[in-house]
Amino acid sequence: MTDRYRSFANSGVGRGLVKRLGLPQPAPLRRYTPGDPLVTGPVLLAGAGRAAGPARAVLTAAAVEVLPERGTAPTLAAIVYDATDLATPADLADVHAALHPAVRSLIPSGRVIVFSSPSESAPAAVATQQALEGFVRSLGKELGRGSTAQLVRVAPGAEGNLASTLRFLLSGRSAYVSGQVIDVGTGSAPIPADWNRPLAGRVALVTGAAGGIGAATARVLARDGAHVVCLDVPAAGDELAAVANGVSGEATQLDLTAADAAERICDLFAARHDGLDIVVHNAGVTRDRTLGRMGDAEWSQVIAVNLTAPERITQALLDEKLVRSGGRIIGVSSIAGLAGNRGQTNYAASKAGVIGLVRGWAPVLADRGITVNAVAPGVIDTAMTARMPPMLREAARRMNSLAQAGLPVDVAETIAWLAAPATGGVTGNVVRVCGQSLLGA
């Protein structure tokens, strides 16, 4: 779907007019293409906490030019600041001192990443570390030009698990992720032999794979090396087959609300693959209506597809021990599940429920080496958003820090990062792929 306003705002005539009128200026975003370098310029690494050394090792291994201080560098591709050692509010002056002179040197689509500590000790330390969240979320709304800011909370002992998350947030894969807080823990996170194919040898299930975010996810997982089983309803059979053939995967037609759906999925993976490694619950429906006008069918269908089916299918796969150790379960939620939305009590309830599944399963499955996370898309240009009234769609596109809608691939890249073996330290997280939406972000 073409964003005509974004095209106009970046044209020779439009750029000046938009600036004079104070209108949103959606910059072109740097998105990942295979073969791209991790970043396109030097990275400033500042701060002296416990994550600085491991972060430097990650950057050096990726052939990134690392600067210990801004010095005379005219431009910076990213700023990485380690604040894990800050313990008092007075220490926050160090954040200002390091970033104030450097942030103006960021190139378009630059990155700011701040490491913090999930401190549970003295109140002053807790307050100081929590202050970093407000700092990063505000900075993400200031940067402009397609740049993003993130906070990564690093558990003690988890410094060696930073590679996958740091690489994702620095790269074009995270183009539409900003203002997020990501927790990295001590789970097993093996480094892949090839960062371009981190999912090699993995078997994945993607529901709702015939189009939109599901189809993009199938393509990205396959690009990264996974064998993808694409699932959707029989009515979408032709589109599903095209996606599966395009990724050299498999197509399975199935109504997830059928009484035997979980059993049939278990039988498929037991017989053909002796299990699976990645489960992506993407299938979803909307039946929008205010609660007073919403019938039983409109309520029950949305809950059944969006929440009950993922719960039943995942539980069946776990009970049959078909999700292998090191497995990844990823649910597609929505910012509607976080902030609510008028006319979507059913949809918001179902998507909030997905977050509840993540929070419930993550600690239970940690001993099996299985991570559970969710992505929460904002306004993504899909066939669903194309049906929105034009003025409403245009307003929704601009109500985020990047002043534009995301693309299905933006959600898919985030799912692929969460699906990677090297992201084993990330579990129980809800990552919003919403350009730092002004609502619920």
In the prediction, which pLDDT does 61 show? 97
List the structure tokens of 154: 């690093």
pLDDT of the residue at 73: 66
pLDDT tens digit at each of 441 positions of the chain: 778 878 878 888 878 887 887 778 889 999 999 999 999 999 999 999 999 999 999 999 999 999 987 666 689 999 999 999 999 999 999 999 999 999 999 999 999 999 999 977 799 999 999 999 999 999 999 999 999 999 999 999 999 999 999 999 999 999 999 999 999 999 999 999 999 999 999 999 999 999 999 999 999 999 999 999 999 999 999 999 999 999 999 999 999 999 999 999 999 999 999 999 999 999 999 898 999 998 999 999 999 999 999 999 999 999 999 999 999 999 999 999 999 888 999 999 999 999 999 999 999 999 999 999 999 999 999 877 777 777 777 888 899 999 999 999 999 999 999 999 999 999 999 999 999 998 764
Reported as type and span, the H/E element at residue 57 is helix 52-61
User: Is-contact 276 203, C-beta < 8 A?
Assistant: yes
Residues contacting residue 235 through CB under 8 Å, at least 6 positions apart: none
Q: Give CA separation, 52 vs 63, 70, 73, 139, in Å.
A: 17, 16, 20, 21
The pLDDT value recorded for residue 143 is 96
Domain locations in the chain as residue ranges:
31-184, 203-433
112 and 83 Cβ atoms separated by less than 8 Å: no
CA distance 149 to 178: 5
So what's the pLDDT on residue 396?
A: 83
- Domain range 203-433, its CATH number among 3.30.300.130, 3.40.50.20, 1.10.10.60, 3.40.50.720: 3.40.50.720
d(CA 245, CA 251): 8
Q: Which residues are catalytic?
A: 347
The correct CATH number of 31-184 out of 3.10.105.10, 3.40.50.720, 1.10.287.610, 3.90.1300.10 is: 3.40.50.720
In three-state secondary structure terms, 65 is: coil
Is there a shared CATH topology between the 31-184 domain and the 203-433 domain?
yes
Both tokens of residue 32? 């990942």
How many Å apart are CA 43 and CA 379, to the nearest integer?
30
User: Kind of pairing, strands 43-46 and 180-184?
Assistant: unpaired
- pLDDT at 120 (0 to 100): 74
- Compute the distance between CA of residue 32 and CA of residue 368 in angstroms, rounded to an integer: 32
